[in-house]
A and B are shown apart, each in its own frame.
Chain A
Amino acid sequence: KNEVEQSPQNLTAQEGEFITINCSYSVGISALHWLQQHPGGGIVSLFMLSSGKKKHGRLIATINIQEKHSSLHITASHPRDSAVYICAVSGAQKLVFGQGTRLTINP
């Protein structure tokens, strides 16, 4: 079993829908990261959080340390949100990544 599990692996939705991507982890962590990888391959850090909730524009990330679970939400999704979203956890100086969720938003 992977240390970091994401669901779903693939998600297709219509523009405007509310999107939720889930991340569960099995190890002790210092922080959890959400990354976005665009079709061109570049990776951008969206959030880094160790407790509670963070919001940037239409993106919201939450983490429940007791349940070892995090969610990434996208409100009012747009085709430009189409990308691979990757959850990663950090502890002991290392990063461990989930497999990624491929999100496609259709107009």
Chain B
Amino acid sequence: EAQVTQNPRYLITVTGKKLTVTCSQNMNHEYMSWYRQDPGLGLRQIYYSMNVEVTDKGDVPEGYKVSRKEKRNFPLILESPSPNQTSLYFCASGRGTSGNYNEQFFGPGTRLTVL
């Protein structure tokens, strides 16, 4: 089954404790992206990747890191989480090397709470 998976789905952590949210897709998509969703602010793009070893900042990259060492995986790293990173996070993937013409396939979301 074609899908984007994220782990964990739910996470409660404390300020400053490094964490990684994994994202994996089995559709051989070049394009992958991370978004966060907050009440009143909607969805916002954090980072995106157009292919292996090619990543770039979205609109809200502060406090996050990403890597794209393999085509299928695009982990989101919070080196020192803070309460303002409490949010619902979505990973997505798409065909091609651009977000412009790609239908996006979304993962199920990760609800993160930073205390």
Query: For the complex, what is the distance from the CA of A100 to the CA of B37, rounded to whole Å?
Result: 11
- Known: A41-B108, A42-B106, A42-B109. Is A97-B43 also a contact (CB below 8 A)? yes
A41 to B106, CA, bound (A): 11
Q: How many A-B pairs fall under 8 Å by CB?
A: 64
Interface size class of B (residues with CB under 8 A): 20 to 34
Contact present for B109 and A88 (CB under 8 Å) = no
Contact B104 A33 (CB under 8 A): yes
In the assembly, what is the distance between CA of A43 and CA of B45, in Å?
15
Question: Can you name 13 A-B pairs with beta carbons within 8 Å?
Answer: A41-B109, A43-B92, A43-B109, A45-B104, A86-B42, A86-B43, A90-B100, A92-B100, A93-B48, A95-B45, A95-B99, A96-B45, A96-B59
A residues whose Cβ falls under 8 Å from a Cβ of B = 30-31, 33, 35, 41-45, 48, 50, 86, 88, 90-100
Query: Which residues of B are at the interface with A, using a C-beta cutoff of 8 A?
Result: 33, 35, 40, 42-45, 48, 50, 56, 58-59, 88, 90, 92, 98-106, 108-109
